[in-house]
Structure 1
Amino acid sequence: MTATTSTNPVSTTSSPTTPLTVAVLGPGGVGGLIGGLLARDGHRVIFLAREETAAALTRDGLHVRSAPYGEFTAQVEAATELREPVDLALVTVKGTALAAALDRMPAQAVAGATVIPLLNGLDHMAVLRERYPAGRIVAGTIRVEATRTAPGRIEHSSPFAALELAAPVEELAARLRHAGLDVTLREDETAMLWSKLSFLAPFALLTTRYRTDAGTVRTEHRPELLAVLDEITAVSRAAGAPAGAEGVLSFFDRAPAGMKSSMQRDAEAGRPIELDAIGGAVLRAAGAHGVDTPVVARLVHELSGEVNR
């Protein structure tokens, strides 16, 4: 596949009909799904990963199995380090792997590109803006349940893949929608990030702490769920993000009963969990704004004890 490569931000100069060159740092569930959809739609996708994963992707392509998108194999490129300019860079590694993974994406390769991190938490935005001062860092969030079952194999189990971007990137949003993603543009970065964290933190902390699914949390652990929602709502409001616990609870109640958090899946598999990026982010913001969060603090403490045991 050939593509026109530009060092200009996608939203200002690229033709809507010109294939993009896209780097995906982290071919896990989220990065694999989005990268696969973009590749299927005709864009040039370069996955950045460890040697064994890059070799598998180069040899076998990327295989996606999804209820809404079907089952398909996309031919992609893969490398251990980005060695050329790109139009768009998606940062989709876990927070626990961010520092090491960024070495795979040199600043000169994304100078002038649009860089979209789809990480949990808040603190990664400052890290990326310092690391890539010449890139356009656009805050993003995604609500999806997708898992990498093996190198180059993605299982998308949720009926949705809802992406939010906090910038006026209409052309890019149109391209992502054409690939099949549900994309919403937001004006307020702080509000958008807290909107995601306000749902994710109780979901991740409670499902991981009690080793259960969303349905069990919202029924058997509902008082604790409500307490966590109230604490996080108070923190988000203090941080300048208008939020209401009722809306988050409504979304939580509509989620598939068997839905599990990525933190829980990581814990079950013995992988490092994003406790600091999720629970730690809430506690740091609470401390900065003088908000008391005893239930969140207890859950973080208990999970930290299990991790270090």
Structure 2
Amino acid sequence: MSIKNLRVAVIGAGGIGGIISSLLARENADISIITSKKSANLINKGGLTVRSEFFGDFTSFPKAKVTLDHAVDYVFFATKYPYLTKSFSRLNKTALGKPIFISLLNGLGSRELIIKTFGKNFITGMIGSIEVYRDENGIIQQPNFQQPELSLAQEDGVSAIELQNICDLIETTGIKIIKYKSYQEVIWRKLVRLGAISSVTAGFQKSIGEIINSDFERNILMGLIEEGSEIANACGVNVNSQSVKEEIFQLPSGLKTSLSRDIIQNKESELESITIAILNEAKKRSVSAPHYENILMIIKNE
């Protein structure tokens, strides 16, 4: 199926939602981005401008709307966890047809909420290897040269052909696709790494390079990786902590996280779906996680 024949909606016009919408619009996809009235007006007037070390600098023109009120093939949720349930009201369920819903939210909890609301025609996705945000001028900024990776797994409510169509769609943008056998793998293979770097950068308000160069902070980072790996293994996903450490040591030294930015700016954050959710999972699985307990206390004292 041609990309021009696929109708796509992206819920959320922040960093992830903005860059995916911009890239799809650049490829002439039929793309609608669902956002606030103010944001929609700005996008419809001037487009979405991207400043990316990987994709280059460009402006594209996805259709921006406050409410999704027409039939689509795919709906990508790209809001942050605190805004997820609020975003549901922006979708007119009776007008959507029978789309496949794909969650791109970090952490735990979003899967269950989306399936409960929209049904089992759903795929868990995790996008990684990217630091991206929408700045105060509405520009999508990707400051580091990284090829984003979207992890997906086939699920009961979605056929193999439908999954491949989604992969083909996303790969046209230059985003790398990684397929796993289960949604648990999709979640935990990113969350072990993300939980560690998000929590430690939020706790100390430093880049990953600065943390690695500090003996004290690096030891906490290593502890978070070990605990996250143990929790993942207890959940049935075999994660090698040494491999995660090697991945983190290869990250751009200046990398920071959205959790770190949101905490210091006193914005609603993904703390509940990342750090707190990992700690809750540890308690449920009777896994000791003192480093996560300590970093959570540090973050809450920011």
TM over 0.5: yes
Q: Which range moves more in the overlay, 53-62 or 153-162?
A: 153-162
How many percent of aligned residue pairs carry the same amino acid?
Answer: 25
Post-superposition shift, 1:73? 1.1
Counterpart selection for 2:73 from 83, 87, 111 = 87
Residue 110 of structure 1: how far off its partner (Å): 4.1
Alpha-carbon distance in 2 for matches of 1:281, 1:108: 33
Q: Supply the AA of the counterpart residue of 2:152.
A: L
**Matched-pair contact (CA < 8 Å) for 1:141–1:193:** yes
Is the partner of 2:132 in helix, strand or coil?
strand
From the superposition, tell whether residues 285 and 111 of structure 1 become closer, same or farther in structure 2 (CA, over 3 Å).
Answer: farther
Indicate the residue corresponding to 2:185 in structure 1: 191
Q: Does 1:177 align with 2:171?
A: yes
C-alpha RMSD of the superposition = 1.5
**1:226 has 2:222 as partner:** yes
Instruction: Pick the aligned partner of 2:247 from 251, 266, 288.
Output: 251
CA contact (8 A) 1:63 1:154 kept: yes
SS in 2 for 1:272: coil
Q: Which amino acid aligns with 2:208?
A: A
The CA deviation at 1:111 is 4.6
Partner residue of 1:118? 104
Shift of 1:40: 0.7
Q: Deviations over 1:173-207 (max 9, x none)?
A: 11211122111222121012001110011101111
Supply the distance in 2 between the matched residues of 1:171 and 1:180 (Cα, whole angstroms): 15
Q: Counterpart of 2:267? A: 271
From the superposition, tell whether residues 108 and 225 of structure 1 become closer, same or farther in structure 2 (CA, over 3 Å).
Answer: same
Aligned mate of 1:166, from 137, 149, 153: 153
Native 8 Å contact 1:85 1:108 kept in 2: no
Aligned to 1:205: 199
The separation in 2 between residues aligned to 1:42 and 1:252, in whole angstroms, is: 35
Check whether the contact 2:4–2:30 (CA below 8 A) recurs between aligned residues: no
| Farther off after superposition, 67-76 or 242-251 | 67-76
Question: Could you tell me how far 1:305 is from its partner in structure 2?
Answer: 3.7
SS at match of 1:63: strand
State the partner residue of 2:90: 104
- Matched residue type, 2:127: I
Please tell me the residue identity of whatever aligns with 2:287.
V
Q: 2:276 aligns with which of 280, 304, 309?
A: 280
**Code of the aligned partner of 2:86:** A
The equivalent residue for 1:10 is none
Q: CA deviation at 1:152?
A: 4.3
Could you report, residue by residue, the CA deviation over 1:24-73 in whole angstroms, capped at 9, with x for unpaired residues? 11011111101111011011111111111011011111111112211111
Shift of 1:171: 2.2
Contact 1:53–1:151 at 8 Å: present in 2 too? no
| 1:141 counterpart residue number | 126
Partner SS for 1:256: coil
Does 1:216 pair with 2:210?
yes
Separation in 2, partners of 1:150, 1:57: 14
Which structure 2 residue ranges, 5 or more long, are not aligned? Answer: 155-159
Q: Which moved more, 1:266-275 or 1:234-243?
A: 266-275
Q: 2: distance between equivalents of 1:286 and 1:155?
A: 34
Residue type of the partner of 1:229?
I
1:291 to 282, 287, 291: 287
Aligned equivalents of 1:106 and 1:236: distance in 2?
36
Q: Structure 1 CA distance, aligned partners of 2:53 and 2:136?
A: 19
1:130 aligns with 116
Letter in 2 for 1:137: F
Once residues 270 and 114 of structure 1 are traced to their aligned partners in structure 2, the CA distance between those partners, rounded to angstroms, is 34
Q: Paired residue for 1:4?
A: none
